[in-house]
C-alpha cells in the first residue's frame, strides 16, 4: 500500500517535471515570453487603431523586482498550503494516538 502510494506520487512528480522540461529542451530557441504580452501584440495587429486607455497603477519594475513579487506570491501560497496540510496531518496523528 505504502509503496503504491510512493509510486503514484513519484509518477505524478515525474510527469509534471517532464511536461515542463520537454518544451524547454525541444524549443530552445523560443523566448518563452508570457502569453499576455503576445496578446497585446495580437491586439495591435488585428486592431491597429486601438490604444490602451489605462496603464498600470504601479510603475513597471525590472524583471528582478517583478519576479520577486511572483516568488512572494508563490511563497505565500505554498506557506499556507504547508501550514494547512501540516496541521491536518498533525491533528490526525494526535487523534489516532489518543485512541
Partner 1 sequence: MLSSLVEKKKRHLWCLLLLLVAPHPLWAMHIAEGFLPLPWCISWYIVIIPFLLAGLYSIRKKIRHNPRIRLLLGIAGGLTFLLSALKLPSITGSCSHMTGTGLGAVLFGPFVMTVVGMIVLLFQALLMAHGGITTLGANTFSMAVAGPLVAYMVYKVLAGLKSPQWLSVFMAAFLSDLATYAVTAGQLAWAFPGDGGVMASFVKFITVFAYTQLPLAVIEGVISVGVFNFLQNHSIEELKSLSVVKPVSAQSTCEPEK
Instruction: Provide the binding-site residues for partner 1, judged by CB under 8 A.
Output: 9, 12, 15-16, 19-20, 22-24, 26-27, 29-43, 45-47, 50, 52-58, 60-61, 66, 69-71, 73-74, 76-81, 83-85, 87-89, 92
Neighbouring residues of 40: CB distance < 8 A, sequence distance ≥ 6: 52
Contacts (Cβ under 8 Å, ≥6 apart) of 44: 50
Q: CB of 97: closest distance to partner 1 in angstroms?
A: 14
Closest distance between partner 1 and the C-beta of residue 11, in Å?
A: 9
Spatial neighbors of 66 by CB under 8 A, at least 6 apart, are 60
Nearest-approach distance from CB 3 to partner 1, in angstroms:
16
Amino acid at each position: 500500500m505504502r509503496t503504491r502510494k510512493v509510486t503514484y506520487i513519484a509518477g505524478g512528480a515525474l510527469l509534471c517535471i517532464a511536461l515542463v522540461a520537454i518544451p524547454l529542451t525541444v524549443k530552445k530557441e523560443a523566448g518563452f515570453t508570457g502569453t499576455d504580452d503576445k496578446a497585446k501584440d495580437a491586439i495591435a495587429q488585428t486592431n491597429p487603431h486601438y490604444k490602451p486607455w489605462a496603464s498600470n497603477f504601479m510603475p513597471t519594475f525590472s524583471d528582478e523586482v517583478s519576479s520577486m513579487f511572483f516568488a512572494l506570491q508563490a511563497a505565500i501560497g505554498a506557506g499556507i498550503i504547508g501550514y494547512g496540510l501540516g496541521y491536518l496531518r498533525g491533528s490526525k496523528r494526535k487523534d489516532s494516538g489518543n485512541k
